Amino acid sequence: MFGFEVYQVVNFFGFVIGLAFGAIAQKKQFCFSGSIKDYILTKSTMRGSSVIVAMIVAIISTYVVSTLYEIDLQQTVYYKDNINYFSVILGGLMFGVGMMLSDGCSNRHLIKFAQGDINSLVVLVFLAIFAYATAKGLLGEVLSPITNNETLIHLSSYIGSVAMNIYFVVGVLILLLIFLVKRIKRIFSLWDGVLIGLLIAASWYVTAVIGEESMERVIELNGITFVYPTAKTMEFFTYYQISSLTFPICIVFGVLVGAYLMSKVNRKYSFGCTASMGQHKIKYNMIGGALMGTGGILAIGCTVGEGLTGMSTLAFASFLAIASIFASATVTALILNKKSKLPMCFIFEWKDNNIDYQI
């Protein structure tokens, strides 16, 4: 293909998808954890509405792409054999706590680091270390009595790796969106959710359709996710001889570049706000990163990996994961807010409310 190997083309498109994701997320500060924080602190539903729109668009566009190109999404990791739903729930709960303690999920810290928050690098390093240790190292052995527990796997088998009904899921999400936006015309301002949702489907197309032609390397079926890819990016950066450049790693690089470039134009968010406010201590970054690294592996993904990519496949496991993340994140945020330790730098409000100021 144009003189390049297929895997190189796939990697290029991975970088482009990451570039677009990073630029969009930085421009609009797209954020799962931020949407929870917004509602608790100011009752704002704008960023939460963007997240719901992204989920709806990801599900519908992925369904269209998978139908047109006969992509078997049940071959993805979200439908793995002998799934342990208890492990998924535990991972989701850990991830939710970690993302509120550290003030952002995995993709959010990539954006924050790219736009100038050096504390996010601490989170990313700990996330990568603990993700790799859980997937390939000591923590994997420590957690094995849970992850490979025959009783828990047997109980999970009563449900099995099932897909949810697309009409039911999309219908519920649309009702939730209507509740959040209050005014239908506001939906037109949620373009970030639309574009990010489409990027999920684009990822499936690149890895499944273009990647299928690869004769040099096996291209795994991948969407957009950030926990394990962040760990693999660190491995590639520090010891590239044993780690190949892959589609997920290229997405991570793309997100960093895209967010950095956009931050040069969209300078409003280009600083380490929570660090300067003195509200976010380094221990929270370390603990939060560790919890997200381990939790993200157990839950088979992060907020984007499960909330968008996983949900786009309609996997029941993804619903359990994102529900667990949301539940523990909300409880953690409420506790932090009660202790006046829930940092916020900007108000994100609907334009028709005429509120747009810094705190």
CA distance 347 to 349: 6
Average pLDDT over residues 96-104: 95
DSSP H or E run through 147? helix 144-147
Q: Which amino acid is at 144?
A: S
Number of H helices, E strands in the chain: 18, 0
- Give the three-class secondary structure for 225: coil
Q: What is the reported pLDDT for 217?
A: 76
153-161 own/partner pairs: CB under 8 Å, 24+ apart: 153/82, 153/83, 153/84, 155/85, 155/86, 156/83, 156/84, 156/85, 156/86, 157/82, 159/85, 159/316, 160/83, 161/74, 161/78, 161/79, 161/80, 161/81, 161/83, 161/315, 161/316, 161/317
Q: What is the reported pLDDT for 347?
A: 76
Average pLDDT over residues 128-145: 94
Q: What sign results for the dihedral spanned by CA atoms 131, 137, 143, 145?
A: positive
Residue 21 has pLDDT above 50, yes or no: yes
Q: What is the reported pLDDT for 252?
A: 97
Q: What is the reported pLDDT for 90?
A: 97
pLDDT bracket for residue 282 (50, 70, 90): confident
Average pLDDT over residues 133-161: 93
